[in-house]
Amino acid sequence: MSKKLSALTMMLIVLFSSVFFLTSCKGKEEKPAEPIKFGGIWPLGDITGDQAAKAAQLVVDELNANGGLMGRPVELIVIDSELNPEKGAAAVERLATVEKVDFFVGGMSSGVHLGQIPALKKYKKVTMWTGAASSTAETAVGEGQDWYFHLHPWDYNQGNSYVEGWDDIAAKFSNISIDRWFLAYEEGPFGSASFAATQTLFSDMEIDGEAFQSAALGGGDYTAVLQRAKDYNPDVFIWAGYAADALPIMEQAKAVNFTPPLFIGAPPGWPSDFGDSALAENVTLYGMWAPSISKVSAVSKKFQDAYEAKYGETPATYFAPLGYTSIEIIAKAVEAAGSVETEAVIKALKAIQYESPLGETISFSPSNVISNQGFRNQKILQWQNGNQEVIWPFEFATAEPAYPFTR
């Protein structure tokens, strides 16, 4: 009995050992390569975040179609920030500790980013940020954070580029005058900050302004402000409000017969159908990208064609090419470094010369506080025949400025 028991025990040991050995061998043979993970955080309910996330997924699909990165598949996990600092910070925690991503990408609002910065600093993973223009966010990141890469221009970069742009335009086109400015601004933080920044940046010019209540916040009557602007007779009229103000302000300007030589709109985003309106013609705007750039940039065209083929829509905001850039630039650095190790990727990113779909070839260099700033310029665009045409910088210009603004 005891012999039988010993034999049975031996047989069971051999059987289990064989099964374990075979299973472990099989496991080793079939275990797929671990994916390289990107964690994206954008506001998916907003067109900027929605299109940035879609463009980021487009790069990931392209990389995987070409065999992945270093032979490993690439994965993008996107979490909605809901334009809420707490949710944005929780998303960083989840991506770092639950999803265990290798890199962070994303970003739109400065307020959300301020809430995320303490969590990002905790993990110090390579971070490629597409949003947050407020220099307060730059101060919050602080000096010596080599893992932090910022693509979007800071507010002072943007302001400086507007001054440079208008000076260049006025110098090149002698008929364009920019000495007298009037700013109509929504009475909230965004509009007030725009007015304060304009006063500082264009301090050598005559500037006046008046606040209005945005249609997005229950307002929508701009006639008093427009009448005052008309009486002031400015060379340049700018309104700083939201997308909801875009069409009503044009209609009311037409009603009061206000036609300044330059009519500029500076909302964070435009209504998707604004270009379809006849009122949009010759309105000037700021942005980092427009589909028209594809006429002068092959990289932009490649991006736009791929985006349209995959999603059946034209990217309407510059956050789409920024989202694409955020992943592709890291992927190129990983290829150059031959590693996903933080130090190696940082070194490769610092050396990179990246041809972006936004037109420019960028490299990273220090800004006022951080070590790795990417883009520094906004572009000056103008609605012409339903399209946003680039009028400055001149190397990306797709049209000359239509001047003066007429109906």
Partner 1 sequence: MNSTVQKNKTWPVIFGILGVIVMILPFFSGPYIQSIGRTVITYMILAISWDMLIRSGQLSFGLAGFFGLGSYAAVLSAVNLHFNPFISIVFAALVAGLIAFLVGAVVLRLRGMYFAITTLALGEIFRIIIHNWTSLTGGPNGKLLPKLAFDGASIPTYAMMVLFALIIIALSEYFKRSRIHYALTAIRDNEIVAKSSGINIYKYLLIAFTVTAAIQGAAGAGFAQLYGFVTPESSFNANYTLIPLAMTLLGGMYSTWGPVIGAVLLGVLGEFLKLYIPYGHLVVYGIIIILVLLFMPWGIVGMAGRLLKKGESHE
Give the residues lining the site for partner 1 (CB under 8 A). 44-45, 50, 78-80, 82, 84-87, 89-90, 93-94, 96-98, 111, 114-115, 117-119, 121-122, 134-136, 139-140, 188-190, 192-193, 196
Cβ distance to partner 1 smaller for residue 188 or 404: 188
> Cβ closer to partner 1: 79 or 333?
79
Q: What is the dihedral of CA 70, 75, 81, 87, to 10 degrees?
A: -90
Of 79 and 380, the one with the shorter C-beta distance to partner 1 is 79
Residues with Cβ within 8 Å of 109's Cβ and at least 6 positions away in sequence, in order, are 43, 81, 83, 131, 132
Q: Which is nearer to partner 1, 116 or 297 (CB)?
A: 116
Q: How far is the CB of 194 from partner 1 (least distance, A)?
A: 10
| Smallest gap from residue 155 Cβ to partner 1 (A) | 9
Task: Give min distance, CB of 44 to partner 1, in A.
Answer: 6
DSSP characters over 107-120: ---HHHHHHHHHHH
Q: Min. distance of Cβ 97 from partner 1 in angstroms?
A: 5
Give yes or no for a contact between 287 and 379, defined as CB atoms under 8 angstroms apart: yes
In contact, 328 and 56? CB cutoff 8 Å: no
State in angstroms the smallest separation of the CB of 51 from partner 1.
Answer: 13
- Return the sign of the alpha-carbon dihedral for residues 161, 162, 167, 171: positive
- Closest to 332 in 3D by CA, of 53, 58, 70, 52: 70
Nearer to partner 1, 121 or 347 (CB): 121
Radius of gyration, alpha carbons of the chain? 26
Q: How far is the CB of 219 from partner 1 (least distance, A)?
A: 14
Please answer whether residues 126 and 96 qualify as being in contact, where contact means their C-beta atoms are separated by less than 8 angstroms.
no
CB of 338 to partner 1, least distance (A): 31
CA quadruple 96, 101, 104, 108: dihedral sign: negative
79: enclosing H helix or E strand: strand 74-80
Residues 126/104, Cβ–Cβ less than 8 Å: yes
Query: Residue 140 or 340: which CB sits closer to partner 1?
Result: 140
CA–CA–CA angle 363, 336, 378 (5° rounding): 20
Measured from the CB of residue 215, what is the shortest distance to partner 1 in angstroms? 18
Q: Which class for 319: exposed (0-12), middle (13-18), buried (19 or more C-beta within 10 A)?
A: buried
Closer to partner 1 by CB, 260 or 323: give it.
323
Give whichever of 115 and 287 is closer to partner 1, judged by the CB atom: 115
